[in-house]
Amino acid sequence: MMNKKIMGFCGYRCDLCPAYVKNVDILAKKTTIRKGWNTFFGFDVPEEKILCVGCNKIGCHLDTECPVRPCAQSKNLQDCSFCDCFESCEILPLRADILDEIKKKYDKAISKEEYELFFRPYSGREELKKQRKTRCAHGI
């Protein structure tokens, strides 16, 4: 697994995502990823499409319908934590805030392995808040 933190515009952690190009078939097999995403998120991604370069790079993107990426790119943002509309944005919650809703709907206990593979990479809002706090602490 990688050591360098790589974050998407919405705060998703590419370096922790099982679909990230450098993690594919290392963190989990594509069949496991497909089943987990179906169970927790309700979408079915064909195994041959489980591959992503990260939203800050040019190439294959798994979430081709992401509304956050084009917005952040149009504003030339490193990530959404730099945006003046961070707190009031109506687009960001569509990706950065989905985990709380999913956890409410899923009535079984989530194992540590499931959390690391299917939840931790997508804690977008938490990651973005950390970024803002770090920048403010350093006067950036």
- Tens-place pLDDT, residues 34-45: 999 999 999 899
Residue range 17-31: mean pLDDT, rounded: 92
* Amino acid type, 119: F
pLDDT of 17 reads: 95
Which range marks the domain in which residue 128 is found? 14-132
Contacts by 31-36, CB closer than 8 A, 24 or more apart: 32/117, 33/117, 36/114, 36/117, 36/118
pLDDT of 3 reads: 66
Does residue 6 lie within any of the structural domains?
Answer: no
Does residue 8 lie within any of the structural domains?
Answer: no
Residue 8: CA atoms inside 13 Å, Cβ hemisphere, count?
31
Tally the domains of the chain: 1
Does residue 120 lie within any of the structural domains?
Answer: yes
pTM of the model: 0.89
pLDDT in tens, 53-65: 999 899 999 999 9
pLDDT of 140 reads: 65
| Structure tokens given for 80 | 């959404």
Please give the angle made by the CA atoms of 49, 52 and 55, to the nearest 5 degrees: 135
Does residue 83 lie within any of the structural domains?
Answer: yes
Cβ 21 vs Cβ 14: under 8 Å: no
Does residue 84 lie within any of the structural domains?
Answer: yes
Does residue 65 lie within any of the structural domains?
Answer: yes
